[in-house]
Homo-oligomer: A and B are copies of this chain.
Amino acid sequence: MRNRSAAPIHTIEALQGDERRQELPSRKRPSRRSRYNHVFAIHSQARASCLSSQDAKETPSFVGFRNLMVLMLVVSNLRLMIENFRKYGVLICISCHDYRRQDVVLGSILYLSIPCHLFVAYIIELVAAQQAKGAVARIKRAETKADATGETDRKNFHYAWYLIAFAHGINATMNLVITSTMVYYFINHPGIGTLCELHAIIVWLKTCSYALTNRDLRHALVYPRADEEVPELYKSCPYPQNITLNNLCYFWWAPTLVYQPVYPRTSHIRWVFVGKRLAEAAGLGIVIWIASAQYAVPLLNNSMDHIAALDLVSIAERIMKLSTISLFCWLAGFFAFFQSWLNALAEVMRFADREFYSDWWNVWSIRTYWTSWNKPVYHFMKRHVYSPLVGRGVPPSIAQILVFIFSGVLHELLVGVPTHNLIWVAFAGMMGQIPLIALTDIIGRGKSYMAKVVGNLIFWISFCLVGQPLAALLYFFAWQAKYGSGSKQFSARSR
Contacts and interface: CB of A to CB of B under 8 A. Distances in A.
A355 B68 contact: no
A76 interface: yes
Interface in A63-91: 63-73, 75-76, 78-79, 82-83, 86
Given A313-B82, A383-B38, A393-B29, A362 B52 contact: no
A11 interface: yes
A213 B320 contact: no
Nearest to A39: B216
Of A4, A7, A15, A215, the most chain B CB neighbours within 10 A belong to A15
Interface residues of A, number: 136
B5 A225 contact: yes
Contacts of A456: 63-64, 67
A36 B21 CA distance: 79
A465 B71 contact: yes
Interface in A333-379: 335, 338-339, 342-343, 351-363, 379
Copies of this chain, whole number: 2
A321 interface: yes
Contact of A44 (B5, B62, B154, B233): B233
B359 A60 contact: yes
Contact of A66 (B9, B22, B66): B66
Contacts of A146: none
A432 B387 CA distance: 67
Contact of A49 (B154, B339, B453, B459): B339
Contact of A61 (B38, B323, B343, B362): B362
Contact of A460 (B67, B229, B323): B67
A36 B390 CA distance: 8
A49 B357 contact: yes
A397 interface: yes
Nearest to A317: B82
Q: Which among A39, A50, A266, A461 has the highest number of chain B CB atoms within 10 Å?
A: A39
A47 B352 contact: yes
A83 B233 CA distance: 60
Contacts of A220: 9, 37, 39
A46 to B, nearest CB: 3
Give 6 closest A-B pairs by Cβ, nearest first: A36-B391, A46-B352, A64-B361, A37-B216, A32-B393, A79-B320
